[in-house]
Amino acid sequence: MPRNILACFQAIHVILLLAATIPLRLNARQLGRHDKFDYCAVSCRAHGASLTDFGGVGDGTTSNTKAFQAAVDYLSQFAAFGGSMLFVPPGKWLTGSFNLTSHFTLFLDKNAVLLASQDESEWAVIEPLPSYGRGRDTEGGRYISLIFGTNLTDVIITGDNGTIDGQGESWWNKFHKGELQYTRPYLIEIMFSENIQISNLTLLNSPSWNVHPIYSSNVIVQGLTILAPVTSPNTDGINPDSCTNTRIEDCYIVSGDDCIAVKSGWDEYGIAFGMPTKQLVIRRLTCISPFSAVIALGSEMSGGIEDVRAEDILAINSESGVRIKTAVGRGGYVKDIYVRGMTMKTMKWAFWMTGNYGSHPDNNYDPNALPVIQNINYRDMVAENVTMAARLEGIPGDPFTGICISNVTIELAKKAKKVIWNCTDVEGVSSGVVPQPCAALPDQGSGYITACNFPEESLAIDNVEIQTCSYRRKYPLSNDVVNHL
């Protein structure tokens, strides 16, 4: 871990701030008592306020949707003057969806819990994503995410491991019963934005996907704990979607779907939109997902996925370690994928590639739009209690090529499949792999064991530094501020 990040996590000291760190229009007589703390962020803020300044009530039953939006609206005026932070204090804060603003930080106290409202009237319906053409659950629109932002710059959602609880059970039940009129909301979605940090939070029981940065760049997702019942539908952990320069690290995920799902649009809509996910780093991830993948590439990958680097991954009781999901009609590509240092414990498949995933948005997809899957590299891995080493299924007439597996030891379960490696329509090489792979991945010998090279040069997102920021909370706001809310 870089020294500056380590220092940021370890050194939480109380310090004094300059007077510029308080909201405008406050004066010394109106300040009352104040609290101060340090926190870790890419950008520090010059101004701040508490949700209680805007009428927030943390009793778990009072709706705070208007309070959140009033707070964001008020604090947005400081975007050009050092930015602002909204502090959510201890309490249970029931809320519907609210939007964020630029040069803004949302900070949750360690004893703060955001509770997603069960009242569907507090969830606006918005247009489907242009690279998807429809909602993921149903045709047409989708419910807006709990925390949402679009066309933003410099946005931080963080805390002292505060909690966001999506209270998703009612949504899951409607999904199973076919009662959804629109696609379920996500917990956090940021669109068409740049310079995003989502960190140091616990996310519980999302109605669907948890964290969804899309059409965005320079994204850091760090230190999240994401928990959902392993049988909950589509509760993916983190889904970078048509994003460039993204860093996901130090996260613990228990999920009913893929822990990390890398995406870039669906069939003809993704092809037309043409925005790939690229330059993605995933490191120090722990995942439990008995019915899905630790890292999935696809299935919506029609805009392309390239230059993905994953390392130091722990997979426990999951369906597959790394899975590529695609199909005829997807088009696009998955290429230049590098995974190393993965430990797998109790898996159905260590490696899985699927060329017949299906699941199309409509019947207008192009049957001649064949995906390109090439240069897929796995090395330095160990696995135990595995039912089947690999299930690698390309597309007839469109084989997956350039697969490289090196220095991998897989210990099979007592009731393992008779066929240990199942390989069709794939091409590649192997070296130092136990048990011996299929003929489509011929062993190149011990001299080739350093193959499947992991890129040594760093990506630009690795040069983005986390710093120690200081916040001084002072309240209440002056009467003339409150009267203008």
d(C-alpha 211, C-alpha 352), whole Å? 24
Give strand pairing partners of 294: none
* Adjacent-strand bridge partners of 48: 85
Written as six digits, the tokens of 101 are: 């603003």
Give the residue numbers annotated as catalytic, written as ranges: 257
155 Cβ partners below 8 Å, 6+ apart? 100, 101, 102, 104, 105, 149, 190, 193, 195, 196, 197
313, 287 Cβ separation under 8 angstroms = yes
Cα 70 to Cα 74: distance, rounded to the nearest angstrom: 6
Q: Do the Cβ atoms of 383 and 414 come closer than 8 Å?
A: no
Query: What is the 3-state composition of the chain as percent helix, strand, coil, each rounded to the nearest 5?
Result: 15, 45, 40
Burial class for 129, CB neighbours closer than 10 Å (0-12, 13-18, 19+): buried
Q: Residue 461 phi/psi, 5° resolution?
A: -65, -25
Half-sphere exposure of 198 (CA within 13 A, CB side): 31
Residue 277 to residue 279: CA distance in whole angstroms: 7
- The amino acid present at 195, given as its one-letter code, is N
For residue 363, give the nearest of 184, 134, 129, 175 by alpha carbon: 134
Taking the C-alpha atoms of residue 397 and residue 94, their distance in angstroms, rounded to an integer, is 53
> Bridge partners of 241?
214, 263
Name the amino acid, one letter, at 42.
V
CA distance 329 to 359: 10
Q: Which residue bears the tokens 């947005």?
A: 76
Which residues partner with 105 through β-bridges?
85, 156
Q: How many residues does the chain have?
A: 485
- Least Cα distance to 379 among 430, 424, 418 occurs for 430
Could you tell me which residues come within 8 angstroms of residue 211 by beta carbon, excluding any fewer than 6 positions away?
A: 186, 187, 188, 198, 203, 221, 224, 226, 237, 238, 239
Q: Which residue has the tokens 């946005």?
A: 155
